[in-house]
Chain A
Amino acid sequence: MVEYRIDRRSGVATYVQIVQQTKQALRLGLLVPGDKLPTAREVVEATAINPNTVLKAYRELEREGLVEARRGLGTFVRKSLGATPVDSPLRAELDAWAGRAREAGLEREDVAALFTSVLDEHFTNDHGKGDEE
């Protein structure tokens, strides 16, 4: 189960924050196919945001084929994003690489810049649709 954290100061629209946090949970394997998303009622009771915002986010996720609404039952995860669960070998490699970068004396920002530039090189036209705005 995922718990949403709404950051009022981020400047990112609330429904986008829900979409992003859901995708993050999917990437990290915190949510796997078959899992149930919290109901709109549960989300708004904890966050005091408008229920339509939650529904808008869920519709967006549904449009992208990530989740499906089953009438009367809830919203369920259909497929996961990427193949990078928390404990995958790729994550271990990245973890080791970050360790080496730190030992080499790189600051956090240096590492992030380096990582982003490599990302941009490899994923030029493959930007996640819902992550914009």
Chain B
Amino acid sequence: MTAMTTAPAEAPTLRRSLRPRGLVWTMLCLHRAALLFWALLAAVAAGTLLWAWGPGTKGVWTEYRTMRCAFPGENLSCDYTGDAYMALDLATSLGGGIITIVPFLVAAWASGALIARELETGTAELAWTQSVSPTRWLAAKLAVPAALLASGTALLMLLHRLMWPSDRELLRWLSRQWYDDVAFRGNGPVAVAYALLGLAVGVLVGLLVRRSLPALGISLVCLLAVHFALGMLRPYLWPSVTLTKTDQYSISGGMPVDDGAITPLGNRVPNPCGGEGPDCLTQHHIVGFYFDYHPSSHFWPLQLVETGIVLSLAALAVLASFRLLNRHLGDAA
């Protein structure tokens, strides 16, 4: 009898306690459109990656076998691409591309719609004069999107890893490398870190600039700069492996860092000969060649170092945002 009376009462209580409240409810309600867009975008990316993992990869293998590409020289048409190849190529590019572009979309949205527009129209002040301190307001502005972004990009990252061919031959045939920019960003935790950096940079710029359109532009420029700089720095984020040999034909299979020629004293100099013959080498006293690179085993160290840097930058931006709000409002924040 007791069970019968309490059971129906418990269900709504549970539902009520799970219902978003306060600032979380406010965030979800105010940014419904953005939430919907993110859900759609993530669904498209997830669908594409799942297709690439399943039917896409299977189709390419079938094509590979029917065209007898495993026997080089036998079928020259393997130098060209078939329909299945094209489809898989497109799907992986799209899936990886969405993961890469998410941080930029987030920065644009966060600087404009999330922050600057509220400061511009005075709705931020409306929120700060409810029973909510500006600090808590900013915390919610960061935490709610951060949770949704982190979980979404983490899921896409896992799907991207699932889709990423484990077979070397297939990778070779698709001419994809583990260190390609889009692949590197899609295959590890840097994907999540960059999305969070986009949010943090957007929020900081929004607070600084306080006007939607300029904030949007500036935050995109800032994020592009970080994106570009870290892409350039990536090979130096972990000690590379050096290979020395006497012939100058390059090796493949790793992320290239540096290469050149070696003099009799052991000094590294740029290769003066290019593809020219042994005469040139003797003339320039070249005794060997070196090649600095990252083998694929460096994937995880490189991922973790870059993730650490990106997350630190994001943390700095968050800290700066809170300080900025504090300076503006004093103890009222």
Check A-B contact in the complex, CB < 8 A: no
B binding-site residues for A, Cβ under 8 Å = none
